[in-house]
């Protein structure tokens, strides 16, 4: 466990070099791989044999390497690819910030801001190459998470779906594909919407989906009957999260429903994935993952009653909120 960071960096290096993609069509000797990846052959061999010992690749007696089922996840086009996520965790903004985890523990402040002298949002705006890797990583994660959400919850009764902070629109696209009678709005910041416009979309979906730019700290589109927020509130502390929820509440009718798609912190001594993600939120944004009770309290402060928490086969759960009457 102490040396776990070495595995993270080894995976980051292999993903950045594109090793797994070079092995999709069969085994290759390490020196052939090195030429294809632009690496120093003896050094690449040492990386590959270490990852083979960890089960990512398989080494034969003549120093050829092939993919294992685990290693397939590092290919760029795998259905559940983690290639871009592995690339992202080693970027300077992420890696160096985690090196100052102890600052967050002592102060409660963002280690990113302490490390780079600016918050994570500003840092990535000034380092678009890292932002691009993060966008790709989050879209990759969203593919499997979107399928899990649709397997766990039937959205077909909703005619107008608003995806608040929906990024590249993958979740909304999957919902609209599953619900042919529904319309949707993808809502995010102007630069995100500009990027989402470039994503391929069918003519039929384009007719049913609008792209709207703005800030969810100020207002969101009105008249939806389902409002989605996937992996949004965990980027913010409670005060800002309540602001975001109240913004959504102002736009919603009493019959509309809110769907917060987030990790839910598990009971003591279990579910480490969510608890380490919580540390990442602290490092990056001085924010947090939350327990069911914390979501109940947060939604109530934002104008909602928590009516259900639906687990999915992914790390994400669907937290369902109903507007509290203001009458």
Q: How many CB atoms lie within 10 A of CB 297?
A: 15
Q: Report the sign of the C-alpha dihedral through residues 148, 154, 160, 164, in that order.
A: negative
Nearest to 125 by CA among 253, 210, 116, 286: 116
Please list, in sequence order, all residues whose beta carbon lies within 8 angstroms of the beta carbon of residue 263, skipping any fewer than 6 positions away.
234, 273, 274, 277, 278, 289, 315, 316, 317
Between CA 323 and CA 132 the distance in angstroms is 36
Between CA 113 and CA 106 the distance in angstroms is 14
Catalytic sites, residue numbers: 234
Token duo for residue 137: 């990583």
**Alpha helices in the chain, H assignment, sequence order:** 4-17, 19-22, 30-37, 41-53, 83-89, 92-98, 101-107, 111-116, 120-126, 128-152, 170-178, 190-196, 203-208, 238-251, 272-285, 292-301
Compute CA 165 distance to the chain's CA centroid, rounded to the nearest angstrom: 12
Contact 163, 179 (CB under 8 A): no
Contact 94, 102 (CB under 8 A): no
Question: What 3-state DSSP class applies to 227?
Answer: strand
| The Cα angle at residue 264 between residues 284 and 188, in degrees rounded to 5 | 55
Between CA 37 and CA 18 the distance in angstroms is 7
């Amino acid at each position: 466990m102490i040396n776990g960071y070495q595995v993270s960096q080894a995976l980051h290096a292999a993903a950045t070099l594109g090793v797994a993609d070079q092995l999709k069509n069969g085994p290759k000797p390490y020196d052939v791989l090195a030429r294809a990846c632009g690496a120093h052959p003896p050094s690449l061999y040492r990386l590959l044999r270490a990852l083979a010992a960890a089960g990512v690749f398989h080494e034969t007696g003549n120093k050829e390497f092939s993919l294992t089922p685990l290693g397939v996840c590092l290919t760029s086009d795998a259905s559940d690819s983690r290639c871009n996520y592995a690339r992202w965790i080693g970027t300077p903004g992420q890696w160096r910030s985690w090196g100052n985890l102890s600052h967050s523990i002592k102060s409660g402040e963002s280690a990113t801001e302490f490390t780079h002298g600016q918050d994570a949002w500003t840092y990535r705006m000034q380092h678009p190459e890292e932002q691009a890797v993060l966008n790709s990583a989050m879209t990759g994660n969203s593919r499997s998470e979107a399928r899990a959400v649709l397997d766990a919850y039937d959205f077909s009764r909703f005619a107008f779906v608003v995806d608040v902070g929906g990024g590249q629109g993958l979740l909304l696209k999957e919902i609209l594909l599953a619900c042919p009678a529904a319309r949707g709005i993808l809502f995010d910041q102007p630069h995100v919407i500009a990027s989402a416009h470039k994503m391929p979309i069918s003519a039929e979906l384009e007719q049913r989906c609008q792209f709207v730019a703005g800030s969810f700290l100020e207002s969101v589109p009105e008249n939806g009957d389902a409002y989605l927020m996937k992996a949004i509130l965990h980027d913010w502390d409670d005060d800002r999260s309540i602001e975001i929820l109240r913004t959504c509440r102002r736009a919603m009718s009493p019959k509309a429903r809110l769907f917060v798609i987030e990790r839910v912190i598990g009971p003591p001594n279990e579910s480490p994935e969510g608890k380490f993600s919580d540390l990442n939120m602290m490092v990056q944004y001085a924010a947090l993952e939350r327990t069911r009770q914390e979501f109940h309290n947060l939604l109530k402060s934002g104008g909602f009653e928590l009516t259900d928490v639906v687990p999915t086969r992914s790390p994400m759960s669907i937290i369902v909120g109903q507007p509290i009457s203001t009458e």
